[in-house]
Structure 1
Amino acid sequence: MLHILFYYHRYYQRSYRYVAPLTLYLIAVFFLYGVVPNPVMDSYAITSTFLFFVSAWFCYGFIDIEDETQQIITFLHSRKLTLLYALKLLYIWLFTLPISTFAIIYPIIFDKFDYTPSFQQALIAFSCHQLSALLGISIAVWFNQKLFRTTRLSFFGLCTILSISLGGQGIIDQTTPIISWIIPPYRIILFILSDDNKTNNVLTPIEIASPVIYITILILSFLLVMKNRKFENSNK
């Protein structure tokens, strides 16, 4: 398993597809903390949102990084297609781990907040950043070449879903609570990271767990679908 992760790392590094989203994320973080002091949890909510989009960007550029011939060769070495896709998802999450950690500790070390956050606040922020990354990855992984005929269509679809996720609460308020089970629950992560103490709303345990449940369902469903499709390509 480790040698496959190392192979993916070398392949991804040589592609330079990570440069644009990584650079954009770092610029956004430095820009956010360019003026001090900053509110703690609201600032983390912003960097979490950046990470949500950037993680999806990482995954979108990585999931189809190998050409079909190379995918077959990799499969022949592992003999488990599901394992290969699972390791791709694991690698992208591991790739986001250092930058999400940086977004947590950088403002603390360099005193960018209006007060020093507690360990509990830092832990909550770190957990929410990981959920943001995993949610972005679990959404973006569906918009690959084997499920969409054109890159333009997959890119437009991904941008649409990410935008809906970000505005999820507003959409639910204007329509019906039923669709809250369909829209990716990024709104829950934002709620947890909110510094707004004026609201009296309290999340239920199922609402708090909904991002984890949603991510798990998306990933398991994706692995099942890709196992059945094998090396079929929607462009053919």
Structure 2
Amino acid sequence: MLNWPLLRYLLASYTRSYKYFAPIAFMIISVMLLYSYKPSPVLDSYAVTSTLLFIGFAWLSLNYLNHDRGQQISLLILHTGRARTFFITQYSVLIMMSLVVSILSVIYPMATHMFAEPVGFVRFCLALLAHVFLAWLGSTIALFFQSGWMENHGRAVGMLLVLIVLSIAGLSITDSLPHGFVFIAYLLPPVSLIIDMLMHADERRLWISVIALTYSLVYTVVLGIVYIKAACAKDATEFNRKSG
């Protein structure tokens, strides 16, 4: 289902636009500022950097999806042969970029000795998975706010920003609500759950952290599947409208 020539083309097309510079610069500068003073606490620092990647990749994803204003999508789908293959490949570019940046963000403070104590294998795995999953989640929620889905760019950006803020503050918001509304934290993108998991991982049993990470992964995968199915249906509808 993955088309490698198309993947290379999409990546090259985006990098030539230089629209990646601002979100990448935001993530790099934010991470470097965070670690400008040492020693830093291990999991608390990773909770912050994973959140920064969530924000940064929501921004980068929106830029990536809008960099050519959808002008080439119909042509690329026609060239690829299947809409599903195109959208999966388009989405895979974001997943690959999030994986690379997440690995670098986790390794950087370890390589530069920014922590006062050894990270350890378990904490390293928790931090890496949290970074990958939140970067991937940020990329995924931005899919639904691209110009092909919401023509008013200002409104799309505003709604995405609101969703980002609510996702980060999810558990804090539900703490102030009646007990019956706790489920709202689990309907929102589970950013606050991962932040809470990292900040308290040393105090809790490992299986609690695994559940939080698994929920985040399942949430993102379901969102990705919904997007691909909806995008294919939308493309088929537009094709029928134009041909009819």
> What TM-score do you get using the length of structure 1 for normalisation?
0.91
1:99 aligns with 2:94: no
1:214 aligns with 2:216: no
Is the 2:189–2:219 contact (alpha carbons within 8 Å) kept by the matching residues of 1?
Answer: yes
Tell me: CA distance 1:195–1:207, structure 2 relative to 1, closer, same or farther (3 Å). Answer: closer
- Alignment-derived partner of residue 241 in structure 2: none
1:74 aligns with 2:76: yes
Q: 177, 180, 185: which is aligned to 2:182?
A: 177
Q: 155, 158, 166: which is aligned to 1:156?
A: 158
Is the 2:94–2:136 contact (alpha carbons within 8 Å) kept by the matching residues of 1?
Answer: no
Gaps of 5+ in 1: none
Tell me, in whole angstroms, the C-alpha distance in 1 between the residues paired with 2:201 and 2:98: 28
Higher helix share: 2
1:186 aligns with 2:191: yes
Q: 146, 167, 170: which is aligned to 1:168?
A: 170
Give the residue type in structure 2 aligned to 1:179: I
Gaps of 5+ in 2: 239-244
Tell me: CA distance 1:104–1:199, structure 2 relative to 1, closer, same or farther (3 Å). Answer: closer
1:26 aligns with 2:28: yes
For these two proteins, the number of residue pairs brought into alignment is 231
- Alignment-derived partner of residue 225 in structure 1: 230
Measure how far apart 1:61 and its partner are: 0.7
Tell me, in whole angstroms, the C-alpha distance in 1 between the residues paired with 2:122 and 2:219: 24
Is the 2:69–2:147 contact (alpha carbons within 8 Å) kept by the matching residues of 1?
Answer: no
Measure how far apart 1:181 and its partner are: 3.1
Measure how far apart 1:147 and its partner are: 2.0
Tell me, in whole angstroms, the C-alpha distance in 2 between the residues paired with 1:155 and 1:67: 15
Tell me, in whole angstroms, the C-alpha distance in 2 between the residues paired with 1:120 and 1:75: 43
Measure how far apart 1:215 and its partner are: 0.6
Tell me: CA distance 1:3–1:36, structure 2 relative to 1, closer, same or farther (3 Å). Answer: same
Give the residue type in structure 1 aligned to 2:193: I
Measure how far apart 1:102 and its partner are: 1.4
Is the 2:129–2:213 contact (alpha carbons within 8 Å) kept by the matching residues of 1?
Answer: no
Tell me, in whole angstroms, the C-alpha distance in 2 between the residues paired with 1:21 and 1:106: 18
Measure how far apart 1:96 and its partner are: 2.4
- Alignment-derived partner of residue 4 in structure 2: 2
Tell me, in whole angstroms, the C-alpha distance in 1 between the residues paired with 2:47 and 2:74: 41
CA RMSD across the alignment: 2.0
Tell me, in whole angstroms, the C-alpha distance in 2 between the residues paired with 1:68 and 1:190: 34
1:44 aligns with 2:49: no
Give the residue type in structure 2 aligned to 1:73: L
Measure how far apart 1:135 and its partner are: 0.8
**Equivalent residue of 1:147, what SS?**
coil
Superimposed CA distance per residue, residues 91-144 of structure 1 (whole angstroms, 9 cap, x where no aligned partner): 012112222211111111111001121122111111110111111111111101
Give percent identity, aligned residues only: 26
Give the residue type in structure 1 aligned to 2:229: L
Give the residue type in structure 2 aligned to 1:130: V
Tell me, in whole angstroms, the C-alpha distance in 2 between the residues paired with 1:38 and 1:100: 18
Measure how far apart 1:87 and its partner are: 1.3
Tell me: CA distance 1:179–1:104, structure 2 relative to 1, closer, same or farther (3 Å). Answer: same
